[in-house]
Amino acid sequence: MAANGKSRRVLMASGDNEAFDAIYRHYHSPIYHYILNVIKSPQLSEDLTQEVFLKVWEGRDRLHEIRNMGAFLFTIARNHTLNILKSATRSQALLAEIVRHSPEPGIDDEILNRDYERFIQGVLLTLPPRTREIYRRCKEQGRTYEEVARELGISGNAVKRHMINSIQALRKAATRDLGLLFFIGMYLTL
């Protein structure tokens, strides 16, 4: 591929489908496995791999400027995968797909879970006492919003507002202090 890689890039830049097919065949598997290593979902990884090559095809007119096609493709794959992970914090379905393909918990996960728990407790200490109490009753004790509202003599909407405030504080602290991937892991324990 290296010897005629430049000519394939030039041909592809002009819209040559055969040149695109050759680049696709050469790089599909490594790009797919790179994304799979991050996402863990085979189907989602395949979809993202297709999207990476679609981006390359759509931007093919700029390919003559590229010196290293492999590095270029991996950069696109990395950026696209990170963007998907960012959107996963907003998408329950996507997050569920990632979690479904995550490895089974092991000793390392137990250590991480303890670290998550310590982190959560530290953030909770920064919240007002009432918000912290409501969070603990709902998340740690497994009570419903209605049960907590009855126990504390407040409305269900007040409980919901306290929970929203606590989750937002945890999200901000996690993304600020630990990065996005840690927040995704922490979110799974909430």
Co-location of 91 and 135 in the same domain: no
Question: Is pLDDT larger for residue 2 or for residue 132?
Answer: 132
Q: Are residues 62 and 85 in the same domain?
A: yes
Q: Which of 67, 100, 133 is the last residue of a domain?
A: 100
Q: Please write the tens of the pLDDT for every residue from 38-81.
A: 888 888 889 999 999 988 888 888 877 777 888 888 889 998 88
3-state helix, strand, coil in the chain (%, to 5): 85, 0, 15
Maximum average pLDDT range among 3-7, 18-22, 153-157, 163-167: 153-157
Based on the fold, state whether residues 134 and 185 are members of the same structural domain.
Answer: yes
Q: Are 162 and 130 in contact (CB under 8 A)?
A: yes
Domain shared by 95 and 48, yes or no: yes
Confidence of residue 28 (pLDDT cuts 50, 70, 90): very high
- Do 96 and 118 lie in one domain? The reply is no
Residues 90 and 114 in one domain: no
| 158: containing domain | 107-189
Last residue of a domain, one of 35, 67, 100: 100
Can you tell me which residue has the tokens 């407790």? Answer: 121
**CATH number of the structural domain spanning residue 114:** 1.10.10.10
pTM: 0.48
pLDDT of 188 strictly over 50 = no
Task: Compare 1 and 140 and report the one with higher pLDDT.
Answer: 140
